[in-house]
Amino acid sequence: MITIRKSEERGASNFGWLDSKHTFSFGHYYDPENMGFGKLRVINEDIVEGGAGFGTHPHDNMEIISYVLDGGLAHKDSLGTGSVIRPGDVQRMSAGTGIAHSEFNASPKDPVHFLQIWVLPEKRGLEPSYEQKSFPDEQRRGRLALVGARDGRDGAVTIHQDLDLFVVDLQKGDAVSHSLRPRRKAWVQVTRGSVSVNGATVGAGDGAALTDEAEVRIAANDNAEVLLFDLGT
């Protein structure tokens, strides 16, 4: 079964400096029908204007993944980590017992466009940690690149949950497929372009929930970028 979460159905917050779209309930946006998908709790698509950002704030007991689509996102945290996340980079922060961090646009004038993804951890009280890795264009072009996994295999960042995260860049006419083991499900998030997911059209900003499917088939209707989450029950 496939269920489409359309871009225009998402929650929205606009504070001038921040334009945010919420796939699942977040902050002041509450939708009891969209509280997450399995252990996947938050997918926010954020655009932050130049020079602006999120001041230092705390988190705990959450796996937080940042994925930049355009621009640069400057990160600082209470572990002493300081970095700039750019397209092709995947950042994972395990908030665990508690961490404070800030996220600001690395440019004083150009916007930064990124996804912030929250995943419920497999257990509470983990030691806070940070990881960032780069996945070059050629690694993602035309094939599913594993960028996050519970065991950190194949160079992926380590996510403390039974979840595999893939990214793929597709040209019009390209197609990829991914087999799902029994009792697993998948979420597909399209960041650019339009694709067909198991026969259903899914466009930029849309998400697709797949349950009781043996395979995820993604075909590009035009040039597209797609995130695929393979989730345990």
* Confidence tier at 233 by pLDDT (50, 70, 90): confident
Find, among 132, 56, 71, 82, the residue nearest to 105 by Cα: 71
Q: Write the pLDDT tens digit of every residue in 116-157.
A: 999 999 999 999 999 999 999 999 999 999 999 999 999 999
SS3 of residue 180 by DSSP: coil
Coil, strand or helix at 115: strand
What CATH architecture is 2-231? Answer: Sandwich (2.60)
Stretch 12-17: mean pLDDT, rounded?
95
Percent above pLDDT 70 for the chain: 100
Q: Which secondary-structure segment (H or E) carries 138?
A: helix 137-140
Question: Does the pLDDT at position 217 exceed 90?
Answer: yes
Mean pLDDT value across residues 193-221 = 98
The letter for the amino acid at 88 is G
Query: Residue length, the chain?
Result: 233
CA angle 23, 28, 30 (to 5 degrees): 55
Q: Taking all residues of the chain, what is their mean pLDDT, rounded to a whole number?
A: 97
Confidence of residue 109 (pLDDT cuts 50, 70, 90): very high
SS3 label, residue 183:
coil
Side-chain-side CA neighbours of 191 within 13 Å: the count stands at 23
Whether 178 contacts 143, CB under 8 Å: no
Indicate the pLDDT class of residue 41, thresholds 50, 70 and 90: very high
pTM to 2 decimal places: 0.97
